[in-house]
């Protein structure tokens, strides 16, 4: 099925190390598990670079570190800096992560290595979850959180060293931080920056920092390459393209099981649903394996997976068992799983994409880049020689782009522009972007912010509304809804809705119990839509006596952890409202359903649509056809006009979720600057 091809030279250099040192003998590897954590640290490739790393950080304002995934950048570098005294004066080392999961799991690991309780010397901070204390010296955080901190502390004075980790992912917030930190650095000579990247784009980062340094300055940055100990990876391509990569992937798993030596399998697919489905299929087929043969342990991995199931992926594989991890792109670089010897790469990834025409952001499936393909293959060669099965042909590989487009060129920029404005960067078009976003997308974002009342006619942040919206840790439309809730007299209810839409997976649908779960959900369903339904769920939950909560959730197919989180998020959002002096009133029962929905329209008006005779929705602006997502209570229900919050995915259709029924008149009344009523019947987007 697979044609064996030696990897092209360009990939080889990426996955096979030029490191001349002989690989560790197998027996030593087996011993590894028994070594103390300290010994494990010393065995990481980064260890022998410790001195040169510290020297570079000491002598250069910006250090660029390149090393294969698993070489120890994320877990070790902050510890080296801490041990070397960079935190002695009470200052902090920050290490940013593009993903929440990475921030929490890495912090947990490093706390273990340091030998402290999580939240003491080592902590993490992600949105709505701050596990740090006065003692914290090493802080893992999402890139978005660090940018947020700059709002209150523009020079980020609490930090002595800031490490932008996984910079090669080029997330929107990493890109913005690069620009912001470049500015801060010029005003804070004591600050040190570390840019760490798994791929070989170091020169690009260097050029960015050297570009317009002060004339008097010598070189600003230095590059260090860790050349992690990597073993050769054989790359195999399909001889014929496949119509169905999921099927091919499953076949390949069983071929590996039948033919290849032991070693865990990592399968890259695109999204959660696909992963759960495929994992089930593999597990099902694996029950037919002869009992004397090695058994398969199939584990899904994606962001949003409950923590205990995420951690299962990192557990050592039991004797006589082969792990099959079915993962999103998350395993490509940000999390490292030991023991992988085989990688199966479907060649696709789910990416955020932004359509400036409709102003909608969605997740779409796209081909990966060559850099990604190399990175994925490299996951098989971390501890011993490995194999990578690409579910596409060599010809298809040749057509892939060398690297992927930075997120900033394909995302909704409204939240980012809001943050920049709040940081006092008024002329966002002239911001020092490493890769500037297309002008069209900037314009769309500015328009939306203007229509939300965030910006005035001169493009300046309005006071206090715009500034408060920037501070609120929710996206701009929801911030606006919270801030106008007093006008509709329903602050209490809106706080609940904002909290409930910030958590994922409130409803649980266990396999095989779909029918029961659905009828349990129907008990909470409110005809006006998802937001009112979520409000109903929260209200019922908090009315239960505390000691019965777990059982009650279980009986009603609700996710107890998600609800606990919603309670905590609600309390945090409430504190913002109090600080902004916004009265929080409770809607009167007679008018609640009416008032709350009108309040939602005050922020979601740009996401308005009308139902078509065939049951789909047509977006008012742009005219896009939308489908109610099967998890929405509006799925298979009639409505006329609606607003919605989220776009789920667009493989073939555009699905929307978190939908609320509205009256058409509210749009013209509450967003007159956005909608204009033409004649009697049509509502048009200006």
**Which residues contact ligand CDP (rule: CB under 6 A)?**
44, 67, 69-76, 105-106, 109, 314, 336, 338
Backbone angles phi, psi at 643, to 5 degrees: -120, 155
Q: Measured from the CB of residue 73, what is the shortest distance to Mg ion in angstroms? A: 5
Least spacing, CB of residue 264 vs Mg ion, in Å: 19
- Nearest residue to Mg ion on Cβ basis: 74
End-to-end Cα spacing for the chain: 55
Considering beta carbons, is residue 105 or 650 the nearer one to ligand CDP?
A: 105
Residue 178 in tokens: 């690069």
Q: Which helix (H) or strand (E) holds 489?
A: none
Question: What's the min distance (Å) between Cβ of 469 and ligand CDP?
Answer: 35
The label of the residue with tokens 């009315």 reads 543
Cβ at position 164, least distance to Mg ion in Å? 11
Task: Choose the contact partner of 336 out of ligand CDP, Mg ion, none; CB within 5 to 8 A by kind.
Answer: ligand CDP
Give 109 or 574: the residue with its C-beta nearer to ligand CDP. Answer: 109
Is the Cβ of residue 75 or residue 468 nearer to ligand CDP in the bound state?
75
SS3 617: strand
Which lies closer to ligand CDP via its Cβ, residue 303 or residue 405? 303
Angle of helix 491-502 versus helix 592-604 axis, rounded to 10: 60
Nearest C-alpha neighbor of 607 from the set 430, 421, 418, 361:
361
- Nearest approach in angstroms of CB 196 to ligand CDP is 7
Per-residue interface string for the shown chain with Mg ion, residues 58-77, x marking contact by CB under 5 A: ---------------xx---
Alpha helices in 379-505 (DSSP H): 394-398, 414-422, 439-451, 465-471, 476-484, 491-502
Closest approach of Mg ion to the CB of residue 224, in Å: 15
Interface with Mg ion in residues 11-40 (CB under 5 A):
none
Contact 661, 398 (CB under 8 A): no
75 binds, among Mg ion, ligand CDP, none (CB under 5 to 8 A by kind): ligand CDP
Q: Cβ-count burial of 581 within 10 angstroms (0-12 exposed, 13-18 middle, 19+ buried)?
A: exposed
b/e per residue, 413-431, with b = 16+ CB within 10 A? bbbbbbbbbbbebeebeeb
212 makes contact, choosing from ligand CDP, Mg ion, none, with CB < 5 to 8 Å by partner type, with none
Number of residues that bind Mg ion (CB under 5 A): 2
- Alpha-helical runs (H) found in 300-438: 307-312, 370-378, 394-398, 414-422
Using CB atoms within 10 Å of the CB of residue 433, give its burial: 0 to 12 exposed, 13 to 18 middle, 19+ buried. middle
Is 199 near Mg ion (CB under 5 A)? no
- The item of ligand CDP, Mg ion, none sharing an interface with residue 337, based on CB under 5 to 8 Å by kind, is none
Is the preceding omega at residue 156 within 30 degrees of 0, hence cis?
A: no
Is there a contact between 453 and 466 (Cβ–Cβ < 8 Å)? yes
Token couple for 104:
């929490």
| Closest CB to ligand CDP among residues 73, 170 | 73
Restricted to residues 69-128, the positions that interact with Mg ion (CB under 5 A) are 73-74
Nearer to ligand CDP, 71 or 411 (CB): 71
Kindly tell me which of 44 and 659 has the beta carbon lying closer to ligand CDP. 44
Residue numbers at the binding site for Mg ion (CB under 5 A) = 73-74
């Amino acid at each position: 099925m697979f044609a064996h091809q030696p990897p092209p030279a360009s990939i080889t250099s990426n996955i096979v190390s030029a490191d001349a040192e002989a690989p560790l003998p197998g027996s030593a590897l087996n011993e590894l598990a028994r070594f103390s954590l300290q010994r494990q640290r010393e065995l990481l490739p980064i260890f022998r670079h410790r001195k040169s790393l510290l020297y570079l950080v000491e002598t250069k304002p910006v250090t660029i570190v390149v090393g294969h995934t698993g070489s120890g950048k994320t877990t070790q570098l902050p510890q080296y800096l801490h041990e070397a005294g960079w935190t002695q004066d009470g200052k902090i080392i920050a290490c940013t992560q593009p993903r929440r999961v990475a921030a929490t799991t890495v912090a947990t690991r490093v706390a273990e290595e340091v030998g402290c309780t999580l939240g003491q010397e080592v902590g993490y901070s992600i949105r709505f979850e701050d596990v740090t204390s006065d003692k914290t010296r090493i802080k893992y955080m999402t890139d978005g959180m660090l940018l947020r901190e700059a709002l209150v502390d523009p020079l980020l004075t609490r930090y002595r060293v800031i490490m932008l980790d996984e910079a090669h992912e080029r997330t929107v917030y990493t890109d913005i931080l690069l620009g912001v930190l470049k500015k801060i650095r010029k005003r804070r000579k004591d600050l040190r920056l570390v840019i760490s990247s798994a791929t070989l784009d170091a020169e690009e980062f260097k050029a960015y920092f050297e570009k317009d340094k002060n004339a008097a300055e010598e070189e600003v940055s230095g590059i260090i390459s860790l050349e992690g100990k990597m073993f050769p990876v054989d790359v195999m391509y399909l001889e014929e393209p496949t119509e169905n990569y999921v099927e091919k992937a499953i076949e390949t798993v069983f071929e590996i099981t039948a033919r290849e030596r032991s070693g865990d399998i990592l399968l890259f697919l695109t999204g959660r649903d696909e992963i759960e489905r495929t994992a089930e299929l593999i597990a099902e087929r694996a029950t037919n394996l002869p009992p004397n043969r090695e058994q398969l342990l199939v584990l899904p991995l994606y962001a949003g997976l409950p923590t205990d199931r995420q951690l299962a992926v990192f557990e050592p594989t039991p004797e006589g068992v082969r792990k099959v991890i079915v993962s999103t792109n998350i395993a490509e670089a940000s999390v490292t799983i030991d023991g992988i010897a085989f990688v199966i790469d479907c060649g696709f990834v789910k990416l955020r994409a932004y359509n400036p025409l409709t102003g909608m952001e969605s997740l779409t499936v796209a081909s990966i880049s060559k850099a990604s393909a190399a990175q994925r293959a490299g996951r098989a060669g971390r501890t011993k020689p490995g194999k990578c099965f690409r579910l596409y042909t060599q010809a298809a590989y040749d057509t892939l782009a060398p690297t992927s487009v930075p997120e900033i060129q394909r995302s909704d920029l409204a939240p980012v522009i809001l943050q920049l404005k709040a940081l006092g960067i008024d002329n966002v078009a002239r911001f020092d972007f490493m890769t500037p976003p297309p002008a069209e997308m900037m314009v769309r974002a500015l328009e939306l912010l203007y229509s939300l009342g965030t910006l005035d006619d001169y493009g300046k942040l309005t006071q206090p509304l715009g500034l408060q919206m920037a501070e609120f840790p929710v996206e701009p439309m929801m911030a606006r809804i919270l801030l106008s809730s007093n006008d509709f007299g329903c602050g209490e209810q809106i706080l609940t809705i904002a909290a409930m839409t910030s958590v994922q997976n409130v409803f649980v649908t266990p396999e095989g119990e779909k029918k029961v779960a659905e009828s349990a959900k129907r008990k909470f369903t409110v005809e006006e839509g998802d937001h009112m339904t979520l409000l109903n769920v929260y209200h019922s939950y908090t009315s239960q006596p505390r000691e019965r909560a777990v059982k009650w959730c279980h009986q009603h197919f609700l996710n107890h952890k998600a609800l606990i989180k919603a309670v905590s998020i609600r309390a945090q959002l409430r504190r913002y409202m109090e600080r902004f002096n916004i009265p929080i009133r409770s809607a009167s029962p007679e008018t609640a359903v009416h008032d709350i929905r009108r309040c939602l329209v005050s922020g979601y008006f740009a996401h308005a649509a009308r139902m078509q005779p065939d049951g789909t929705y047509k977006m008012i602006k742009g005219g896009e056809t939308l489908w109610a997502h099967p998890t929405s209570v509006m799925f298979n229900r009639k409505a006329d006009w609606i607003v919605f919050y989220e776009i789920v995915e667009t493989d073939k259709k555009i699905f929307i979720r978190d939908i609320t029924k509205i009256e058409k008149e509210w749009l013209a009344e509450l967003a007159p600057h956005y909608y204009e009523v033409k004649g009697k019947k049509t509502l048009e987007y200006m």
